[in-house]
A = this chain, B = another copy of it.
Amino acid sequence: MTAHSDVPRSRRERPAKPALTRAGIVAAAVAIMRADGLGKVTMRRLARELDTGPASLYVYVRNTAELHAAILDELLGAVEAAPGGGDWRERLEQVLTSYTAVLFRHRGLAKAALVARPRGEHYLRLIETLLALLDEGGVPPGQAAWGVDLLLQYATATAAEHAPGDGDAEVAREEWDAVAGALRGASAQTHPHVAGLAAELVSGRPETRISWGFRALIDGILHTPLPEGDTGDTRN
């Protein structure tokens, strides 16, 4: 076992351990996510998969949040950039629905996107597409710029909230029933409006509500002028 030296192994005897690259790391991360959910995309698991130690990954990725954002931008390649027929509103809603669909497949990704915005090429292309459609609809440029933020945030937050959990569908159902129950159980004395609207508060299929939300948002963006004298980048 010790003194006997094996015949030197050919370099390609088994799939040669590929050199680490950022692209390779992100690809492996996507694979883990598809197989076991984003919750399993940890530095340690990823390192194991790539046959190295976790410390090695920090050469290419700053931290776990950046890794998740990179995964999302990768998946955003599947968002249709040039939707089919209909007027600009309909095509706008199509693009947003397509974006939402990507996030719906992975709730964890939506949560990540709310905190660490992706900033890869796919995300940039998505913004370009949305701005072009708003422009086509005659939305004033300033409102379009701020509106894109509103639309993407709504889509992302909705996915973070309503997408089937990375884990337990049972638990999600229970959660929802509990919330609905709390609303329906509201006293007509102390909470007359809640009691009166209990049914409406929980009505509608998720897709129907999301679609209504997009239309309300687009309408508001179109009709709400920006405040005057605050166009400089004075953030913080």
Residues of A within 8 A of B (CB): 111, 114-117, 119, 124-125, 127-128, 131-132, 135, 141-142, 144-150, 153-154, 156-158, 160-161, 173, 175-176, 178-180, 182-183, 186, 190-194, 196-197, 199-206, 208-209, 211-213, 215-221, 223-224, 226-227, 230-236
Q: Is the CB of A234 within 8 A of B205?
A: yes
Q: Is the CB of A191 within 8 A of B235?
A: no
**Smallest beta-carbon distance A152→chain B, Å:** 10
> Can you list 20 A-B contacts with CB-CB less than 8 angstroms, sorted by A residue number?
A111-B111, A111-B114, A114-B161, A116-B175, A117-B179, A124-B194, A141-B196, A141-B200, A144-B197, A145-B197, A146-B200, A150-B154, A153-B157, A199-B231, A200-B231, A205-B234, A212-B227, A219-B220, A219-B223, A223-B223
Asked whether A215 and B204 contact (CB < 8 A) given A131-B194, A161-B114, A194-B128, the answer is no
Residue of B nearest to A200 (CB): B145
Residue of B nearest to A221 (CB): B216
- Bound complex: CA of A15 vs CA of B54, how far in Å? 45
Specify which chain B residues have a CB less than 8 angstroms from the CB of A117 in the assembled complex: 161, 175, 179
Specify which chain B residues have a CB less than 8 angstroms from the CB of A204 in the assembled complex: 146, 226, 230-231, 233-235
